[in-house]
Amino acid sequence: MPEEADCDYVIVGSGAGGGTLAARLAEGGKRVVVLEAGGDALVAPDPGLSADYEVPAFHSLASENAEMSWNFFVRHYADEAQQRRDPKYILDKGGVLYPRAGTLGGCTAHNAMILMRPQDADWDGIAALTNDQSWAAASMQKYFRRLEECRYRPLWRSTHKVGLDATGHGWDGWLPTEHPTPTAVLQDKALLRTVLESALAYGGRPKHIAKILDIPAWLVASLKLGMKLSLPGLIVAIVDFLVDSGLVSKLREVAVNIQSRLDDQLDPNDLRWPGDTGGLCYTPLTTRQHTRFGTRDRLLEVQARFPDRLRIEMHALATRVFFDDTDRACGVEYLKGERLYKAHAQPSYEQGERREIRASQEVILAGGAFNTPQLLMLSGIGRRDTLEPYGISVRRELNGVGQNLQDRYEISVVSRTAKPWAVLDGALFNTSDPLYREWARTKDSIYAVNGAALALTKASRPGRASADLFCMALLARFRGYWPGYSKEIATLHNYLSWAVLKAHTANRSGFVELKSADPRDPPAINFHYFDESSEDADDDLAAVIDGMRTVRRLTANLRRSGILAEEELPGEHLQSNEQLARFVRDNAWGHHASCSCAIGPVEENGVVDGEFRVHGIRGLRVVDASVFPRIPGFFIVCAIYMIAEKAADVILADTSR
């Protein structure tokens, strides 16, 4: 190693991309320095911060915890009149809140912890684009198996040790996955009816629904008969019997039958799951003993094993990549100091201490879809007309930097319940309430889950090769992101929100651009929703409306039976396609930003090649959500974990040549 180098690799960012890659390179014998602009959530001065990080039900609080939140305010439209129709729009900020995390672990420190593998077509598309079969789905699945430690399929976990495994799960990876069903959920009659009736209304088979709740399939079949014959008394009687007799709780204390645990119909990460074309599912969470687990925990575990290989430099805001005389990236300049980035919820007015870190091999950017293109542009890599106005010399003109920004479209159908959920009785969403104490003591508490009661996938129109809608029922009033949204979730316990996510959106017109040459200033971000997209917006809009109509059908019985009192959003007075389209345009949001430094050829505005190398720049790679050409899957974090594992293979193979 050259004398002046501090490490083999310097990685900017500790989230799903950077943290995963850094840990794997260190395990592979490389010396790695990770630059993280934030600190460690679990050693911060705020005692509530550790709970916000650790407790699954507190994830919305984590996203607004001032110790670690980065608050971007993004535009959905260039048209100001249209933008102002969004009730979440903050005029003096010029945008809608887009929570990010400035902390060790990046957004794995505040996300909803849902892990769902991408659809095969996502990987096969990249394989076709790059003409590289290592990107094909059949090859990429090994990275899912490498990273996952599945804890919720016990029989398959045992049989895989003797070579019997049809699931495609990973059993020995670093990322634990669990599927909790707290006992308290099965003692809330209204919630139990909500799950059962919604699942049956969607067409779920009794044996599959029984598996979700670990109750006898014949009882679920009786419920279905009661719904079919419009006998609400029978439905109430069956649920009362389940709860009052203690049968639900007793069933959880005995061994689950083999048929149930071998069932592949509800696990979205089972290779045999039929939900790629539509169906019910549960949502596996990245938790260990029902406590959040992310790249923060992965990095610290690897650092404890290899302290001489992995160095984590926190409170280090990267300002630019620098280059040697041969134009090779050889290090990163950064500012040392707390809360230096102005997107921080409580930004510092200090300037920070300017420092450098040098790498003998490569610089790897993993700051995410907003910060990676910003850092490239600050380093002179991007479009000439966006760099020169700020006095930045162009080192490499790549027109795709910051372009092609994509996201999901999301909307909620929000209903007020007749009574607060019993399962949330006493919930204060802090460390002083009885539900937190139960979680801390036994982990068998509603706080062990992320708030999702039921989920389903659906194709928005006939003829689609795969499902493009993901809908989940949340025990909260959730209508998107705005300052203070987490307090509403924590304090209002009489709501059911069906969140509708539109995957594989057509819109590729979003951008990230500099506002100034100051690395502490957040960039300008505009997603150019719907009609402002260069692509056909009609299919996306129609798909979201189809998702809303689907979940409305699921809640219809609940309104008739008195569990739901009123639909507040969009409101029952909005029924026509035109009315719902206006509501979606005015209220939609997203939280899976990606694709702003896409894989692809330069002439098609690609920024990196199929091995993550920035075009025309030696020694520089990007490994994060920004590299996808099209937004993958339903929840993007799994895809990011997988590409980071692939990147580790690519980089380690390069060094062995």
Rounded Cα distance between 527 and 530, Å, is: 9
Position 214 scores a pLDDT of: 53
Q: Is residue 31 part of a domain?
A: yes
Other beta carbons within 10 angstroms of residue 165's beta carbon come to 18
pLDDT of residue 246: 57
Q: How many structural domains is the chain composed of?
A: 1
Residue 616 lies in a domain: yes
Spatial separation of the C-alpha atoms in residues 181 and 452, rounded to whole Å: 11
Q: Is 601 helix (H, G, I), strand (E, B) or coil?
A: coil
In-domain check, residue 254? no
Tell me the HSE value of 499 on the side-chain side, using a 13 A CA sphere: 24
Question: Is there a domain that residue 322 lies in?
Answer: yes
Q: Say what the pLDDT of residue 155 is.
A: 86
Residue 14 maps to a domain: yes
Distances in Å between the Cα of 590 and the Cα atoms of 242, 330, 471 are 39, 35, 14
CA dihedral sign of residues 527, 533, 539, 541 = positive
Q: Looking at residue 386, what is its pLDDT?
A: 95
CATH at residue 356:
3.50.50.60
335 vs 341: CA distance, rounded Å: 10
Q: What is the pLDDT of residue 234?
A: 47
Q: What is the pLDDT of residue 259?
A: 34
Q: Would you state the pLDDT for residue 227?
A: 43
Question: Is 174 inside a domain boundary?
Answer: no
Question: Does residue 163 belong to any structural domain of this protein?
Answer: no
- Domain coverage including residue 46: 7-69+97-114+294-404+596-655
| Residue written as token pair 């500790």 | 14
Q: Quote the pLDDT of residue 209.
A: 56
Taking the C-alpha atoms of residue 348 and residue 315, their distance in angstroms, rounded to an integer, is: 12
629 occurs within a structural domain: yes
What is the mean pLDDT of each successive set of 10 residues along the chain, which is 657 residues long? 80 98 98 97 77 96 95 98 98 98 97 97 98 98 98 90 92 95 74 77 62 53 47 50 53 39 75 86 95 98 98 98 95 98 96 97 98 98 97 97 98 98 95 94 93 92 92 97 97 97 95 98 98 86 97 91 95 97 98 98 97 98 98 97 98 88
pTM of whole model > 0.75?
A: yes
Q: Which string of DSSP letters, residue by residue, matches 388-419?
A: GGGTPPPSEE-TTTT-SBB--EEEEEEEEESS
Which candidate, 6, 68, 10, 16, places its Cα nearest to that of 37? 68
